[in-house]
Amino acid sequence: MEQAILEGVMQLLEDGVPLAELSIERIARTAGVGKATIYRRWSGKEELFVDVLRAAEPPDPELPGTSMRDDLIVILESLRQRGLVSRSSAILHNVYVQMKSSPRIWAAYHAGVVAPRRVLMLDVLRRGQRDGELRPDIDLDLANDMFVGAMLVRTVMRPDADLPEGLAEQIVDITLAGLRPVSSTVL
């Protein structure tokens, strides 16, 4: 049932219906269910919509937990995968763009998807700092933005940029090692 509803919304989006015109009524009609069925599961269009996106995006990865570096590479690789999907799927790309001009849907997506990912990332960094993989004096919030920043610039802001295999590992290792020439890394 839930699956049919999510697919119904995806179908409407594929048919080119703008986000703003997707009403619960129309979704119910497309999925062949009553409005009450939808409202039993979701409190509103925003929440339903976040689940549609979640179903369309690659699932969040399992972290290996073997080291901070390994976990960070898996997280950045999943950002890269989402970037690739968003590039290959015109619908998904279009939905992201529309979502950003709808403050309520953006807020729901942020609370339901983006914020939990950030919490997970900060956990990984906290463990890494505890285990001596991360400078002890570094602010975790800033460390987070530095690890994910380069990948997000490429996936979100520069839709024409390369997303080659191995990019996640490269970004993590360069961020850990720094960009100074080796001869001057003495601090």
The contact set with a second copy (CB under 8 A) reads: 97-98, 100-101, 132-136, 138, 141-143, 145-154, 156-158, 161-162, 170-171, 174-182, 184-185, 187
Which residue's CB is nearer to a second copy, number 36 or number 179?
Answer: 179
- Residue 25 or 141 with smaller CB distance to a second copy: 141
Please state the closest distance from residue 72 (CB atom) to a second copy, in A: 10
Q: How many CB atoms lie within 10 A of CB 69?
A: 16
Shorter beta-carbon distance to a second copy: residue 32 or 178:
178
Its sign, for the CA torsion 41, 43, 45, 47, is: negative
CB 118 to a second copy: min, Å:
9
Nearer to a second copy, 1 or 153 (CB): 153
Shortest Å distance, C-beta 134 to a second copy? 6
CB of 104 to a second copy, least distance (A): 13
